[in-house]
Amino acid sequence: MAQNLKTRLLRGIGANAFGQVVTVIIQLVSVPIFIRFWGVDLYGEWLILSAIPSYFALSDIGFGSVAGNEMTMRVAQDDRIEALSVFQSTWLLITGISLSIALSIAATIWFIPLEHWLNLTHLNHQSVAGIILLLTLHVLITQQGGILNSGFRCEGNYAVGALYYSLVRLFEFSAISIAVSLGATPLIAASVFLCLRAIMTLVMGWDLHKRSPWIIFGYAHARLDVIKRLAAPAIAFLSFPLGQALSLQGMVIAIGAILGATPVVLFATLRTLSRFILQLVAMFNTAIWPELSTAFGAQNLDLVRKLHHRSCQTALWLSLFAATGLAIFGGQILKIWTNGKVVLDVPLFNIARSSCS
């Protein structure tokens, strides 16, 4: 059991490390590419519009993450029937909410003057509406990927789900970078984004069914009482992504609406650099998460305490190390990264770095 736990943790950390490499690649390459081919202003407007659909990631009301925990604990108790019931119940709920949101956005977005509300000057009304619709569909399909990840997690395949998540992001970024380099508009870029996500989600579903044939989509095992039982912890869990959405995407939208697109690029770039600390810590914590669920489901409280203590210790030391590095080299990194087109605002950067440490 100890060897299996160690192996799963190492695989999970390895998958998360690969994810951080992908994140670094995307962050290092995307800024100069978008600024070069779109310019600072158009890139800023893309960032503003990209922030709006991210709020629809909250449409699972926290059920996606809670379902993963519940399924993992049920499988640890060798109760796959109940785990399947949780899977199908949450899938039906999230899919129903997603379809409702998609239809509502498709019917109303064309009549909302977002370009005026958000102080956009480089994109016309049709482009703004189309981009919002496509990116909203992208987020809603991503919700399906979250449900699939719950299936991977519960059978000890967290690393597989994490690897898929990183590969999807890498493929999406590669495709959109090539498209932008070839002259694609933001509307075309959003279309490429959506198509890659849809294809990879289908591949994930096929692989999950191959690895765990008992996990099937449908409604035969769905129950309303499962949703009621998970409602309280789901809503409580929603506070985490809600707070993150308000602090991250909310600031982008507010800055864009008040100051315009150019300051958004400065803010987003500095924030990305400062959030390296959180990403480094998350690489370890998210690998431990499914093992905590498994240990708790098996009532192995000694292991739960041990994993929790190790996670807290790792987070503390990594945060101190990364914050010190950014304090010393942050300015030089930003200058090289943006080719001098984004100038470091020291007070703003120090505030962002301190809030993430």
92-108 pLDDT, tens digit per residue, is: 988 998 899 899 999 99
- Check residues 231 and 208 and name the one with the higher pLDDT: 208
- The whole-number pLDDT of residue 76 equals 83
Q: What is the model's pTM?
A: 0.72
What pLDDT sits at residue 348? 58
Residue 277 confidence (pLDDT): 63
CB 130 within 8 A of CB 190: yes
- Determine contact, residues 143/158, Cβ cutoff 8 Å: no
pLDDT at 110: 92
Q: How confident is the model at residue 185 (pLDDT cuts 50, 70, 90)?
A: very high
The domain limits of the chain are: 2-356
Encoded amino acid at 298, one letter: A
In the predicted structure, residue 2 carries a pLDDT above the cut 50: no
| Secondary structure (3-state) at 31 | helix
Residue 7 has pLDDT above 50, yes or no: yes
Check residue 37 and give its pLDDT.
92
pLDDT band at 1 (very low <50, low <70, confident <90, very high): very low
**For range 211-230, the mean pLDDT:** 89
**Stretch 249-278: mean pLDDT:** 68
pLDDT at 280: 64
Most trustworthy range by pLDDT among 143-157, 264-278, 310-324: 143-157
- Which of 59 and 303 is assigned the larger pLDDT? 303
Tell me the average pLDDT across 167-179.
92
Measure the CA–CA gap between 34 and 147, rounded to whole angstroms.
Answer: 32
The CA distance from 133 to 231, in Å, is 29
Mean pLDDT of 99-123: 89
pLDDT at 88: 92
Question: Which of 27-31, 74-78, 86-90, 332-336 tops mean pLDDT?
Answer: 86-90
**Contact present, 320 and 259 (Cβ < 8 Å):** no
Structure tokens at 180: 């932008």
What is the DSSP code (8-state) at residue 294? H
Predicted pLDDT at 351: 53
Tell me the mean pLDDT in the region 287-304: 71
Phi, psi of 35 (to 5 degrees): -65, -40
Check whether 47 has a pLDDT greater than 50: yes
Mean residue pLDDT of the chain comes to 79
Counting residues of the chain whose pLDDT is more than 70, the rounded percentage is 69
Q: Residue 237: what residue type?
A: F
pLDDT at 214 over 90: yes
